[in-house]
Amino acid sequence: MKTQDYIAIENELGAHNYHPLDVVVADAKGCYITDVEGKKYLDCLAAYSAVNQGHCNPKIKEAFLEQVDKVTLTSRAFRNDKLPMLYKKMNEMTGYEMFLPMNSGAEAVETAIKLARRWGYDVKGVEKDKAEIIAASGNFHGRTTTIVGFSDDPASYSGFGPYCKEAFPMHEYGNIEDLKSKITKNTVGVLIEPIQGEGGVVIPPDGYLKAVAELCKANNILFICDEIQAGLGRAGKLFAHYYENVRPDMVIVGKALSGGFYPVSGVLADKAVMLTIKPGEHGSTFGGNPLAAAVAIRALEVIEEDNLIERSNEMGEYFIEKLRAIKSPKIELVRGRGLWIGLVLKEKARPYCIKLMNEGVLCKDTHETIIRIAPPLVITKEDIDWAVEKIEKVLAE
């Protein structure tokens, strides 16, 4: 079958909840994808940061296959020999005392919301069912009904109400004074992305994260960082909040924790927060299963062994510098941290993404005028040079 045959089946029989580029992937290794007709592409999206370690990373694949031959799923009614080792690895890498594993990023965000509310009632003493968590404008934390209820993007929330807006007041991202004005006696948490991914790789003003951390501490509020996309090397550090040397009360992780092999996500926190939820009050059939734990352990080890954080920082600086050197009236600006780059255009970005696809470079548009560029962290300077050449060509056309 050809590309159009697969697309026809998908359009006829599949839900239309995505608007993908018309490339049908059949194979992927490292930074490269091959379609069903044998054409090769440089992947500059990395499955929204889920394959930071590269497609089909052989080290993670080995751990995956080894675990598949033993046991893939046990109920959390029993213990398994992999999950404790994941807890240990997360503690060693991040310093947080405990980890609560889930599957998808949205599940992890929902978990953080439940933890913050329970902490608010049991520890802070907020009146029953009055807890508020302050979100940020331009946020993207997932697609569940709770989460889209505190989005300000009509494409995310329109048509899915009703919502409890009082539970999630919103402040202007990057504006600490506006955040201060939203705090009440019922505020239990502030939930932010240290860099907004879906928003177009939006970096807040210097000092914002530090000010948020100080404000939360002064008001006995939990500082919650969504590092699902930004974390685990994508932004040039283990976590993007490291740029301001802050320590959130909770860190939400996912995406690259899976290495692209199996859905893994979760929440990091210390015991004072984590142990407010008691047995039977939260969980997931697949969360923390042995296959997920084995994959996550190896995914984390690969980040360390292959120096992917350092590579992200070095290659990211190189990529951004090359893009900023392009002389084109169509470019508004280039922003980024590590290998997470937003190429902001003065016109709609999707036509350029389609042209880039035809040239063999895969990336994705967001918020109308922004091209997100986020290749696997194993990308080389030669790959970057080739990609920039194609980007320059498409912009010139």
**Cβ atoms 251, 223 nearer than 8 A:** no
Given a contact cutoff of 8 angstroms between Cβ atoms, the answer to whether 38 and 2 are in contact is no
Average pLDDT, the chain: 97
- DSSP class of 122: I
Angstrom distance (rounded) from CA 18 to CA 6: 15
Class of domain 71-305: alpha beta
Which pLDDT tens digit goes with each residue over 61-88?
A: 999 999 999 999 988 889 999 999 999 9
Residue 226 annotated to the active site: yes
Is 99 in the active site?
no
Q: Where are the domains of the chain?
A: 3-56+307-396, 71-305
Query: How distant, in Å, are the alpha carbons of 38, 263, 265 from that of 306?
Result: 29, 22, 22
Q: What is the DSSP letter of 120?
A: I
Per-residue pLDDT tens for 114-131?
999 999 999 999 999 999
- Which DSSP string do the residues of 208-227 spell out, in sequence order? HHHHHHHHHHHTT-EEEEE-
Q: Out of 35, 226, 249, 383, which one is annotated catalytic?
A: 226
Q: Does the annotation mark 255 as catalytic? A: yes
The pLDDT tens digits of the residues spanning 28-55 come to 999 999 999 999 999 999 999 999 999 9
Q: Which of 82, 124, 237, 255 is catalytic?
A: 255
For position 76, what pLDDT does the model report?
86
Which of these is catalytic: 64, 99, 140, 239?
Answer: 140
pLDDT at 311 over 90: yes
Cβ pair 322, 388 in contact under 8 A: yes
Domain 3-56+307-396: give its CATH code: 3.90.1150.10
Q: Contact 356/363 with Cβ under 8 angstroms?
A: yes
Residue 201 sits at the vertex; the CA angle it makes with 199 and 207, to the nearest 5 degrees, is 105
Could you tell me the two tokens for 87?
């807890």
Does the predicted model carry a pTM greater than 0.85? yes
